[in-house]
Structure 1
Amino acid sequence: MYEGALADLIDELGRLPGIGPKSAQRIAFFILSSDPADVTRLSAALTRVKDQVRFCTICFNVSEQEHCKICRDTRRTDELICVVEEPKDVVAVERTREFRGKYHVLGGAINPLDGIGPDDLRIRELMARLSSGLTREIILATDPNTEGEATATYLALMLKPMGLSVTRLASGLPVGGDLEYADEVTLGRAFEGRRVLDV
């Protein structure tokens, strides 16, 4: 339908996750009608992120330095490590302002259908971190889906013999939700994760 540079831009945008053909076309036409200075800033930001952003050599979170700001923060404890799938999960946990430990980013989850096994994740690096003996508890904060559960189970089996406390984030009903709209799995997990009320 389109040709040349516009078609190439639509194709490249369509390769981004969550961007379908119509969204790619809308974004391409937005860029086409944008001020050249805005497009130059976008282009510069894309180039800069590829040139400057890397993974922390300790936890594998994104960073512009060898160690991310969380690993450099001396107020954070090494006794707690929260294991997540992706760097965006670190941001989600940080927004709660409840966690004062450190993180380990696996870089995905076990998914045999996509050919992703334990060796494709940063599990060896996690085990090397734990050899220091500073960590007491590992919090498994993988996604509550089939792949996340498989990854959490695999890690729990590996970590339990090390004498560490291995916990999993509770899952259940969202705040503000109605009980009648909860599916069976969510409601079942809410029952499993129930806690004593301190009044």
Structure 2
Amino acid sequence: MFEGPIQDLIDELARLPGIGPKGAQRIAFHILTADKTDVERLADSLRHVAENVRFCERCFNISEADTCRICRDPRRDQTAICVVEESKDVMAIERTNEFRGLYHVLGGAISPIDNVGPGDLHIRELVIRLGDGTVTEVILATDPNLEGEATATYLSRLIVPMGVTVSRLASGLPVGGDLEYADEVTLGRAFQGRRRLGDPATARG
């Protein structure tokens, strides 16, 4: 244990995802020995994010305004929505240049072991967005792991009866992986080969 502010900094850094106690200690001592200007710039960036970055009121992507730049862009295809778990997945898909529609960020995935159910995600808001009939296809781009597949299955059963085409990204993405770590070529091919889930006509009948 270190004294006062150093230990406080280590403890706070260790709370961040992917950073353990040793990693937190290394970062803390890097900050301690860094130039004061660099430390102040880091502090200013953190403060700016805390004070100015919010979630888009329409799709829940990160934004500095009430609606994000993608939702505000009139050139985007208004008939297609790509559903992802987190905002970082939006950036991963945008890098492929394969999708020109809109997004909907769930804020996670269904995970009973973590006490995360459908009511904890932005699923109700997605259903509301589909209510006016503008959207004709929903692409489910949740992670190809157990939680992501469970979420995609739940959404498919919910949306198909609404008469909207539901598709899932093609295999080729590694099972058990995270969307944000897929390279652009693999992710782009997954979009090109997405498969349709369910049959709206059958579901309505």
Q: TM-score range by the shorter chain?
A: 0.7 to 0.9
Q: How far 1:172 sits from its partner (Å)?
A: 2.1
Give the SS at the match of 2:95.
Answer: helix
1:186 aligns to what?
A: none
Change (3 A) 1:48 1:134: same
Give the SS at the match of 1:74.
Answer: coil
Following the alignment from structure 1 to structure 2, what is the Cα–Cα distance between the partners of residues 82 and 173? Answer: 16
Trace 1:63-102 onto structure 2 (pairs within 5 A): 63-102=63-102
Following the alignment from structure 1 to structure 2, what is the Cα–Cα distance between the partners of residues 49 and 166? Answer: 35
1:178 aligns to what?
A: none
1:107 aligns to what?
A: 107
Q: How far 1:78 sits from its partner (Å)?
A: 1.1
Give the SS at the match of 1:138.
Answer: strand
Change (3 A) 1:194 1:148: closer
Q: How far 1:53 sits from its partner (Å)?
A: 0.3
Q: How far 1:171 sits from its partner (Å)?
A: 2.0
Trace 1:52-63 onto structure 2 (pairs within 5 A): 52-63=52-63
Which gives a bigger RCO, structure 1 or 2 (Cα 8 Å, sep 6+)? 2
Structure 2 unmatched ranges of 5 or more: 175-189, 196-205
Change (3 A) 1:71 1:5: same
1:37 aligns to what?
A: 37
1:140 aligns to what?
A: 140
Structure 1: which amino acid aligns with 2:122? R
Following the alignment from structure 2 to structure 1, what is the Cα–Cα distance between the partners of residues 173 and 158? Answer: 29
2:158 aligns to what?
A: 158
Q: Show CA shifts across 1:73-99 (max 9, x none).
A: 110011110000000000000000110
1:128 aligns to what?
A: 128
The two structures have a TM-score, normalised by structure 1, of 0.86
Q: How far 1:194 sits from its partner (Å)?
A: 10
What is the aligned length? 178
Change (3 A) 1:27 1:53: same
Contact 2:167–2:194 at 8 Å: present in 1 too?
A: no
Structure 1 unmatched ranges of 5 or more: 175-189
Q: How far 1:61 sits from its partner (Å)?
A: 0.3
Following the alignment from structure 1 to structure 2, what is the Cα–Cα distance between the partners of residues 74 and 173? Answer: 30
Structure 2: which amino acid aligns with 1:39? V
Following the alignment from structure 1 to structure 2, what is the Cα–Cα distance between the partners of residues 80 and 141? Answer: 13
Following the alignment from structure 2 to structure 1, what is the Cα–Cα distance between the partners of residues 166 and 61? Answer: 21
Give the SS at the match of 1:172.
Answer: coil
